[in-house]
Amino acid sequence: MCLTSSLYIVWRSATHVVIAHRDCRSKYESPVQGEHKNNRRILSRSLLLQRTKNMSASTAKVSKKELNSNHDGADETSEKEQQEAIEHIDEVQNEIDRLNEQASEEILKVEQKYNKLRQPFFQKRSELIAKIPNFWVTTFVNHPQVSALLGEEDEEALHYLTRVEVTEFEDIKSGYRIDFYFDENPYFENKVLSKEFHLNESGDPSSKSTEIKWKSGKDLTKRSSQTQNKAGRKRQHEEPESFFTWFTDHSDAGADELGEVIKDDIWPNPLQYYLVPDMDEEEGEGDEDDDEEEEEEDEGDDGEDDAEDD
């Protein structure tokens, strides 16, 4: 889900959250954006009506040439019926749009209500997670999209991550904030790193974040760039940019994939990613089983050969 899609349907179970969105309305839509969207909708309908009129006129002209003047009355009647049908469809569509807008507002109110009710459970979950070493770094490494952004040193730094919190603002249309809490570590001075997504004064999505106070020689964002430049000369494969460059990237707040993944996929149920089996270990166990089976087959073959010799 992106910052520019709107809440349409909410379904929840005890361990999972699914939030579907309707593309035609922005969850974080400003009044100005709504007015522009409405103007575009009116314009598109006007163009549709005009296009239908032109098509009907062209069809009528062709029909007159092919079927002679005896069909003029029928053509005019058909054109009139089409025009009336289009106008009625437009009226019905207006009613559908009105109900969709009303549904979005009602669902938004329900979501705000349950956001408050969920807070004590999020707090209790955080307290329990704190008892599990390396919970969050394991969760991020096991997530396919987040792991693609992690270099080796990023993982080392994230071993000091003790808590993650996602806070949606009281008016959830206006944005949210993600907080990362760290123990004392050799990389930076900050105890908390935050990134916030909100609407600016003009109503457009924007973001701001904590300035990372890197310790001397430990800036992973610069080291990532230098590593890529050196590696690029020797091999085509490039290491991913540092995970921490995300805190300085404010180029497209309305489509921040990492922020949306953390908020909408990981935060609702991080346990499902923490418990993902280690594929390397599974592959290793599978290889051992294959080796054992091969050894048993070899021993069986040797036994048959000995029997034949006797």
CATH of the domain at 157: 3.30.1120.90
What is the number of other CB atoms lying within 10 angstroms of the CB of residue 15? 9
138 and 250 belong to one structural domain: yes
Query: Which tokens go with 191?
Result: 């105890």
Adjacent-strand bridge partners of 6: 22
Q: How crowded is the C-beta side of 114, counted as CA atoms within 13 Å?
A: 12
141 and 272 belong to one structural domain: yes
Least confident of 77-86, 167-176, 231-240, 250-259: 231-240
Q: What is the mean pLDDT of the chain?
A: 76
Percent of the chain with pLDDT over 90: 45
63, 82, 115 — which closes off a domain?
Answer: 115
147 and 211 belong to one structural domain: yes
pLDDT at 300: 57
149 and 263 belong to one structural domain: yes
Query: Which tokens go with 161?
Result: 């991550």
Tens of pLDDT, residues 93-119: 999 999 999 999 899 889 889 989 999
199 and 93 belong to one structural domain: no
Higher pLDDT, 127 or 276: 127
What range does the domain containing 307 cover? Answer: 279-310
pLDDT at 32: 42
Contact 248, 221 (CB under 8 A): yes
226 and 301 belong to one structural domain: no
At 182, the pLDDT band (50, 70, 90 cuts) reads very high
pLDDT at 170: 77
Query: Which tokens go with 153?
Result: 């040193």
Tens of pLDDT, residues 191-235: 999 999 998 878 889 999 999 999 999 999 987 555 444 444 443
What is the number of other CB atoms lying within 10 angstroms of the CB of residue 149? 19
* Across 62-67, average pLDDT: 49
Higher pLDDT, 39 or 276: 276
152 and 267 belong to one structural domain: yes
Give the separation between CA 175 and CA 4, rounded to whole angstroms.
11
Residues across the chain = 310
Adjacent-strand bridge partners of 161: 182
Higher pLDDT, 9 or 231: 231
Higher pLDDT, 223 or 259: 259
Does 124 reside within a domain? Answer: no
Contact 136, 162 (CB under 8 A): yes
184 and 290 belong to one structural domain: no
Does 254 reside within a domain? Answer: yes
154 and 199 belong to one structural domain: yes
Least confident of 29-33, 173-177, 202-206: 29-33
Q: With 90 as the cut, is the pLDDT of residue 139 above it? A: yes
Contact 206, 250 (CB under 8 A): yes
pLDDT at 229: 47
Does 121 reside within a domain? Answer: no
308 and 272 belong to one structural domain: no
301 and 243 belong to one structural domain: no
Q: How many domains does the chain have?
A: 3
Does 1 reside within a domain? Answer: no
Higher pLDDT, 88 or 7: 88
Higher pLDDT, 294 or 109: 109
